[in-house]
Amino acid sequence: MKNLLLTIIACLFCFAGQAQDVLIKRNGDELEVKVLEINLQEVRYKCFDNLEGPIISIAKADVFMIKYENGTKVIMNESRPAMQQPVYTKPNNQQSLKLGGPRLGFTVLSQNYRDHIKDDFDTNVSALMTQFGWQFETRVFTLENGTSGLFEFVPLIGGLEQGKFLPSLSALVGIRGAKGLEFGIGPNVSLGGAGLVLAAGTNFQSQGVNFPVNVAIAPSSDGMRFSVLFGFNSRKY
């Protein structure tokens, strides 16, 4: 009986040692941590994947919310104690967040789209072409559960490897979940005309830098395009 009790206690300590907190910064970044202390000026924690590592401090002004492993959520607010802040009240300094960075990838063109380019612009284009461009992102809002509303503007230049200059512009309105999954829809303009673009993907984060990976489909009366794009972006100060 004594051995059984010791085993149960050891298991409890083991599970407790694996407890994971989530620290959400005001710029939308999420960190898996073990919170050690919250004082008047800062939050002190250790990275969950390196609990033997150093203690890290972050200013409370940079922290939006802490989700403890037991489900408790604490929203930070500089003007009054965090526990007095209603869960769904928007923080005073939560503003639109602007990000930007390069995008590159490739696009597959349907035969109808290629025929349209050839007929209207007297140029032959291969079915597969590279894309280079830039992503301008505005994070309009971030909810208490980490979901964000987005507006993205993405200009691209395709076909450079073929000696072509095939521009396109996309403007998307979308949603990004707390885990980084995102979906968007909006207008697209290219040499093939105007139409809609549908996009989906995910967004990885590391050291304050975002690494988006997206797939997009742009159907139109002149043919269809399928694109895969990736890149990185960071906050624009």
Looking at residue 127, what is its pLDDT?
92
Q: How far apart are CA 216 and CA 237, in angstroms?
A: 29
Q: How many CB atoms lie within 10 A of CB 25?
A: 16
CATH of 2-84, one of 3.40.1710, 2.30.30, 1.10.8, 2.60.40: 2.30.30
Looking at residue 226, what is its pLDDT?
95
Terminal alpha carbon distance of the chain: 62
* Domain boundary assignment for the chain: 2-84, 97-235
Q: How many CB atoms lie within 10 A of CB 53?
A: 9
* Coil, helix or strand at residue 114: helix
Q: Report long-range pairs for 114-122 (Cβ below 8 Å, ≥24 apart).
A: 114/223, 115/223, 116/192, 116/193, 116/222, 116/223, 117/166, 117/191, 117/192, 120/191, 121/191
Could you tell me the two tokens for 211? 């690494």
* Helices and strands (H, E) in the chain, number of each type: 2, 15
The answer to whether the beta carbons of residues 102 and 133 sit under 8 Å apart is: yes
CATH classification code of 97-235: 2.40.160
Distance of CA 17 to the CA centre of its chain: 29
Looking at residue 144, what is its pLDDT?
77
Q: What is the pLDDT along the chain (237 residues), one digit of tens a residue?
A: 555 555 555 554 444 445 688 999 888 888 999 999 888 889 999 988 888 889 999 998 889 889 888 888 888 875 444 444 444 444 434 456 788 899 999 999 999 888 888 888 888 899 999 999 999 999 888 887 778 899 999 999 999 999 999 999 999 999 988 888 999 999 999 888 889 999 999 988 776 678 889 999 998 877 889 999 999 887 655
* Coil, helix or strand at residue 115: helix
The residue count for the chain: 237
Could you tell me the two tokens for 122? 């007297």
C-alpha to C-alpha distances, 53 to 48, 49, 50, nearest whole angstrom: 9, 9, 5
Distance of CA 2 to the CA centre of its chain: 51
Q: How far apart are CA 105 and CA 158, in angstroms?
A: 9
Looking at residue 8, what is its pLDDT?
52
Q: How far apart are CA 188 and CA 167, in angstroms?
A: 11
